[in-house]
Amino acid sequence: MIPLLHLAQEQAGWITDDAMAEIAELVGTSSAEVLGTCSFYEMFKRSPVGKYVINICTTMSCALLGAGELMEHAERRLGVKAGGTTEDGMFTIEGAECQAACTEAPCLQVNYRHRYRVTSDQFDSMIEELASTNHDVPDHGVLSRIRQHIPEDRFVGAVPPEDVVSSPAWMHDEKAD
């Protein structure tokens, strides 16, 4: 189900009711089950979001090192409150749970790419960079662009996914001797 939710979000930028109904049919479950899964994970969005989703960590380490002030600055800079999207549809800003970078606080993510020890000035520079076309952050929900950025020497497995010609051995019904 989760890969299908990722695919639906890749296509629309968020998970629509129609997509959830289609996923439920594909996996043989109810729309309520799909909604439960979708709403459990923070990465899935249930309403349209900006081209760039900025998640500022709000947990203890980041809070102690200025995440609250960074969020206030971000809200002023973008002219929206946390959870909102700018009028031009460019940025959505959200508070987020721990991003597992407590020693690098305060941190944030832009479309799931980390930025560490972010100051207000660095936030402003980041916004200017993202508003230009001179950056390497893919649009939110565009998984295929992210995958294209994985160097060959970083692929997981013996071969790139497009070169796989058969299912994994563990999927075969053959019994071990």
Mean pLDDT, the chain cut into blocks of 10 residues (177 residues total): 88 88 93 93 87 92 94 97 93 91 91 90 94 68 49 60 69 54
Query: What ranges do the domains of the chain cover?
Result: 2-40, 52-131
pLDDT at 145: 45
pLDDT at 177: 46
**CA 20, CA 106: separation in Å to the nearest integer?**
35
**Which parts of 29-112 fold into alpha helices (H)?**
31-40, 60-64, 67-78
pLDDT at 172: 60
pLDDT at 119: 96
Fold of 52-131: Glutaredoxin (3.40.30)
pLDDT at 92: 93
Distances in whole angstroms, Cα of residue 80 to Cα of each of 1, 48, 93, 128: 33, 15, 8, 16
Helices 67-78 and 120-131 pack at an angle, to 10 degrees, of 40
pLDDT at 136: 63
pLDDT at 41: 87
Class of 2-40 in CATH: mainly alpha
Sort residue 30 into left (φ over 0), alpha (ψ -120 to 50) or beta: beta
**Cα 145 from chain centroid (whole Å):** 13
pLDDT at 164: 73
